Amino acid sequence: MTTPGTIPLDPADIREKRRQNPKMRERDFARIHSIPEAALVAAHIGEGVIRLDCNVARLLEGLPALGEVMALTRNESAVHEKIGTYGGISIGEQTGLVIGDEIDLRVFPPHWRHAFAVSKTGEDGEERHSLQFFDAMGQAVHKVHLRPASDVAAYRDFVMRMTSGDQSQSLAPSILPPPAPRGRPASRGELEESWRALTDTHQFFGMLKRLNLERLEALAMAPRDLAWRLQADSVERMLRGAAEAALPVMAFVGNPGCIQIHSGPIEKIETMGPWLNIFDPSFHLHLRVDQIAELWAVRKPTRDGYVTSVEAYGADRGLIIQFFGVRHEGVDELAGWRSLAEGLPQLEGEPA
């Protein structure tokens, strides 16, 4: 549990600084001014922003009525955008699912603490609407942006129903306590035995928790037939290879409160400075390849044989993005995806 701690914030000062930098992206503005992004949003309550009750089940269950929208989930190094409709919603206290034809989410409600409806007038004079959700520290968890085909009347009805009685412009983010001491990390032998006994990829996180191992720590300890380092710049090669072969892929981008998934082919890949981008009709990805500190190929046993992933990690040892070949329960992994992943250049000095 986080320990509440108030950070001095002056909403009027935030608004004035924002007026001086109106075109700067919200996340960049918050970082430069050392404030949580949610504090920037809250400071504009009454000026196009409305605070909503952060009841995750009610929030998500109200989204299908909005029709076509753009769902956005990001972390420090990757932005994942999907255009579609919300559906297949099932929300529990600790976890939840959104499984639609395009929008596919894994949701962790305890991390959703602040919710806002935001309306802005663009340079073209058009009013743009979004729903923005943040964690206890004021970091963005998930956002929903309306599109031309969205039902604006349904959006306004949704906001009216979900409006909070608290419309204060201040926001006191929580401060994370130091991590609890962990138990004895497992040995290499214990890790290998548990890893080879997996029957489903979803068991991997539970295995790490049980063995008191961090994800990267486990990859480094694993036998090289289960996990091996790749050259960090191989992500672009992998994506272009998948596009050229018309291989459908799964791309997972997440933060502590939400994981967003794309499943399908990819087509239009472009680089812009340090950003590697996908610009497809219903899927956009923006990845800071310069922030990839380690890239790994990982094999996990399942009832249907091995499943291969390509996983990128940042300097903080956190997972930035994961890629898999699209597969279905009871069916072998796509041979083309496996060949592509296994053929990526290994890091120099990494054993074959």
Cβ neighbors of 341 (< 8 A, separation 6 or more) are 238, 297, 308, 309, 310, 325
Tell me the pTM: 0.93
What type of residue is 105? Answer: L
pLDDT at 268: 97
Structure tokens at 95: 């976890």
Residues 218-231: tens digit of each pLDDT: 999 999 999 999 99
Which residues are paired to 298 by β-bridges?
227, 309
Cα separation of 163 and 54, whole Å?
9
Cβ neighbors of 334 (< 8 A, separation 6 or more) are 247, 248, 325, 326, 327
Q: Which CATH superfamily is domain 3-87+112-175 in?
A: HemS/ChuS/ChuX like domains (3.40.1570.10)
Cα separation of 184 and 112, whole Å?
31
Q: Do domains 3-87+112-175 and 188-342 have the same CATH topology?
A: yes
Residues 253-312: tens digit of each pLDDT: 999 999 999 999 999 999 999 999 999 999 999 999 999 999 999 999 999 999 999 999
pLDDT at 2: 35
**Residue spans per domain, the chain:** 3-87+112-175, 188-342
Q: What is the domain class of 188-342 according to CATH? A: alpha beta
What type of residue is 6? Answer: T
pLDDT at 9: 66
Residues of the chain with pLDDT under 50: 1-7, 352
